[in-house]
Amino acid sequence: MKVFTLRFRQFIVVALLLTVIFRYVLNLSIGEESLSMVILCAFIYFCMMFICGWYFGKKDATENGFYDIGFRYHAATYVICVGISYVAYYVGLNTESLWPMTITALSWGIGLLVHLILFLIEQRKTIKGYAKDEIFD
């Protein structure tokens, strides 16, 4: 199974752009101390990332025909979001403190670990990434 497919690479580029824009707007909102803007910014970012993951994931599954329950997309989103947050902090472009970022990364990491376990369980039901019931029908 090819891991870095065309649609997955496209998702990574879009996720990078959305995350950089999100961090910039979030930092402005935190600097202005506008809680409503922080919540709105986070909600819009969540929706856009979910739609992008859904769109590219569906296209990827249709074009390449493998079954991975979205773990690659979840892992890529985690690395991108957490990575950009820490880079922004250490470069000095962040108004958010290190402790909340670390708590967010750890809790999201626990969710990613649960997703990995579910992914591994589902992989046992497939042959080289293809669902067994699709192969033997």
Task: Please state whether the predicted TM-score (pTM) of the whole model is above 0.85.
Answer: no
Geometric angle at alpha carbon 82, from 81 and 86, rounded to 5° = 120
Mean pLDDT per 10-residue section of the chain, whose length is 137 residues: 82 95 89 90 94 89 73 92 91 81 94 92 71 60
Geometric angle at alpha carbon 54, from 9 and 72, rounded to 5° = 50
> How do the domains of the chain map onto residue ranges?
6-128
Q: What is the DSSP letter of 129?
A: T
User: Which H helix or E strand runs over 3?
Assistant: none
CB neighbour list of residue 42: distance below 8 Å, 6 or more residues apart: 22, 26
- Per DSSP (E only), the strands in the chain are 126-127, 130-131
CB neighbour list of residue 25: distance below 8 Å, 6 or more residues apart: 37, 41
Residue 88: per-residue pLDDT = 87
Please tell me the distance from the alpha carbon of residue 106 to that of residue 120, in angstroms, as a whole number.
Answer: 21
